[in-house]
Amino acid sequence: MNRIDQKFRALRTLGKKGFVAYIAAGDPNLKQTGALAREFERIGVDVLELGVPFSDPLADGVVNQLAAERALKSGTTLRGVLDLVRNLRRQGCEIPIVFYIYFNLVHRYGVKNFAKEACRAGVDGVLTLDLPPEEGAAFQQTLTKAGVHPIVLIAPTTPTNRIRTLVKQAGGFIYYISREGVTGMQSKVATTIRDRVAVIRQYSKLPVAIGFGISNPKQARAVAMDGDACVVGSAIVNQIAQNGRDAKKVARFVAPLIKEVKR
Amino acid sequence: MAPLQELAKEYAKARRDKKFRQQVAYYLREYVGRPTPLYFAERLTRELGGAKIYLKREDLLHTGAHKINNAVGQILLAKRMGKSRIIAETGAGQHGVATATVAAMFGMECVIYMGEVDMARQALNVYRMRLLGAEVRAVTAGQRTLKEAISEAMRDWVTNIRHTHYIIGSVLGAHPYPVMVRDFQAVIGREARRQILKHEKRLPDVLVACVGGGSNSIGLFHAFLKDKGVRMVGVEGGGRGIKPGDHAARFQKGGSLGVLQGTRTFVLQDEDGQIMLTHSVSAGLDYAAIGPEHSYLRDAGRIEYSYATDPDALAAFQYCARVEGIIPALESAHAIAWVQKHAKKLGRDAIVIANMSGRGDKDVMQAAELMKL
């Protein structure tokens, strides 16, 4: 069974909410990303989202843009990130891993080739930022066939009939974007989350993870309660920017977030 | 995606609406100054000693370039959709000025995103936008030119989607933008076709225009696409020559099919799919991707693409000024450079229309430095 499914099944049995951590692969370098992945697994991160660095990260705020720049500077490539996952799996690291990726990298790599290698390496899900369902159906099917879940994004502006189409292509979990805009930390959490999640639940049985703009334990708990899991990205990336070479230090920032979500 | 679909739907409606079309035509005539002349460049023709050269004088439009054609169309659409805030990206600043202009005229809030590098080399246009009441936001990411300005405008758009319309300045971005911008620019070719038939009683042999994103070129070419005998040439920014990072010629070495900013098209990218750095002396051509319709028409064999280097373009910039008394935009100078090189070979019986897409006032400071004027 796909590691994401296993994880959410276990969480459901325990009656617990999930915690998804986003980091940019290769920031500050791939070796350190490996160390962070193992550390995150140890402290109880449920799903690790690995951003594959792209030169033009359209959907990202400045924190993640800078992280991608650092990752590219350290020589990170898609091939390198796949190798990292392969190595983690060899070392017995079983944390579910989702790639957060811009489509040009997949396009260049070759769609079929990418799906095959992602599965072989031990990637559990792929979230393609800039591939709408109208253009993405074939790719999502290729992923599904390879045993990798296509993770689908739903925005506050996504109309109900479109939610219906989107969830049909989805696997693993649904990623609900908490507010209009790009990734990045916010002081306030949007108030419309609960209603939109209710609409998603009408059409899909998949767990719903909520992200974009979540930066502290209180917000993390609040959005996790509205869905099945919360995603924290930029706030962790910010910590890596400061203490990226010390995985324990970053973990000390993440642990309280997890604790509050699981309380 | 939903807002794009809504825009496509609204545009499809507007396009069929006679009243909307009349409104666009009214502002283009009364405010922008259309039609523009198709000017027979007599001295240029004589000096080059070959083809008969006509210039489509988009440089004479209000704000000084073809960009205003699209800005007028899109702001009328934004009004129709009840939007109150306008954003745009700009490279050379001409699209930013055009957008700031129409936003001022219709009393709408306006924010323009511009790369820091472009703000320095096109400072005059920054002042113009500010004078027109727009806020110019400097973009400091990546190589700080047009590509990053587009990304930043798109980020703003998704954040403020409910009341903001994003006026993209070229035939780029996701559908319906490339189609919509082309339609608003197609007036250039419709006029030119009518005018050349009147002057010469026949169609031209060659159309030539510079290609950044590709709006002035597709604007000129579109009305002639079905005229099989008309050859069309798009001139890309050859920069310092065709070496990685030194140019912006997507159909030369380094360009291949990719996906950038919502469009599948030819992109300058490396083997991993990272977008490459670009360079052109002209800010308006300094961009890693090309409008998707250009990629299609190139693959279909309908349009051919060439390039002019920075020195070629600068030489044409000065040559055009001295021979015709017209200072072209550095972008348009790329088209003139092609004409300079090919007029003689084409022979005296040939007729060429070059698109003078904008005027060069904005480039004078930069040129003065580069050419030690």
Q: Which residues of chain B are under the pLDDT cut of 50?
A: none
Give me the helices (H) in B165-273, please: 177-185, 187-200, 215-221
CA dist., res. B304 & res. B312, Å (int): 19
Residue B317 DSSP SS3: helix
Residue B115 DSSP SS3: strand
As for the ipTM of the complex, it is 0.93
Residues of A in contact with B162 (CB under 8 A): 157, 180
End-to-end CA distance of chain B: 49
B162/A contact by beta carbon, under 8 A: yes
Query: Which amino acid would we find at residue B319?
Result: Y
Give chain A as a 3 state SS string: CCHHHHHHHHHHHHCCCEEEEEEECCCCCHHHHHHHHHHHHHHCCCEEEEECCCCCCCCCCHHHHHHHHHHHHCCCCHHHHHHHHHHHHHCCCCCCEEEEECHHHHHHHCHHHHHHHHHHHCCCEEEECCCCHHHHHHHHHHHHHHCCEEEEEECCCCCHHHHHHHHHHCCCCEEEECCCCCCCCCCCCCCCHHHHHHHHHHHCCCCEEEECCCCCHHHHHHHHHHCCEEEECHHHHHHHHHHCCCHHHHHHHHHHHHHHHHC
Check: CB of residue A67 under 8 Å from CB of residue A244.
no
Domains, chain B, ordered by start:
2-30+66-181 (3.40.50.1100), 33-64+186-371 (3.40.50.1100)
* Residue B67 among the catalytic residues: yes
Residue B16 DSSP SS3: helix
Check: CB of residue B125 under 8 Å from CB of residue B365.
no
With 0-12 / 13-18 / 19 or more C-beta atoms within 10 angstroms meaning exposed / middle / buried, residue B300 is exposed
For residue B164, the surrounding DSSP H or E stretch is: strand B164-166
pTM: predicted TM-score of the whole model, two decimal places = 0.95
- Closest of A131, A155, A123 to residue A47, by C-alpha: A123
What totals of helices (H) and strands (E) does chain B contain, helices first?
15, 12
Residue B353 DSSP SS3: strand
Q: Which residues of chain A are under the pLDDT cut of 70?
A: none
Whether residue B141 and residue A65 make contact (CB cut-off 8 A), yes or no, is yes
The neighbour count for residue B229, using CB atoms within 10 Å, is 9
CA–CA–CA angle A248, A251, A253 (5° rounding) = 120
B261/A contact by beta carbon, under 8 A: yes
Note the pLDDT of residue A134.
Answer: 87
Residues of B in contact with A58 (CB under 8 A): 151, 154-155, 261
In the block, residue with structure tokens 């007036």: B187
Residues of A in contact with B155 (CB under 8 A): 58-59, 61, 181-182
CA dist., res. B224 & res. B205, Å (int): 11
CA dist., res. B104 & res. B81, Å (int): 18
CA dist., res. B349 & res. B251, Å (int): 30
CA dist., res. B333 & res. A34, Å (int): 52
Domains, chain A, ordered by start:
3-262 (3.20.20.70)
Note the pLDDT of residue A69.
Answer: 95
Check: CB of residue B101 under 8 Å from CB of residue B63.
yes
Check: CB of residue B109 under 8 Å from CB of residue B145.
no
CA dist., res. B238 & res. B184, Å (int): 27
Note the pLDDT of residue B313.
Answer: 98
B275/A contact by beta carbon, under 8 A: yes
> What residues have CB less than 8 Å from B354, skipping those under 6 apart?
B53, B54, B55, B56, B207, B208, B209, B332, B335, B336, B338, B339
Give the rounded distance of the alpha carbon of B356 from its chain centre.
11
CA dist., res. A242 & res. A34, Å (int): 17
Residue of B nearest to A72 (CA): B274
CA distance A7 to chain B (A): 30
Encode pLDDT of A151-162 as tens digits. Answer: 999 999 899 999
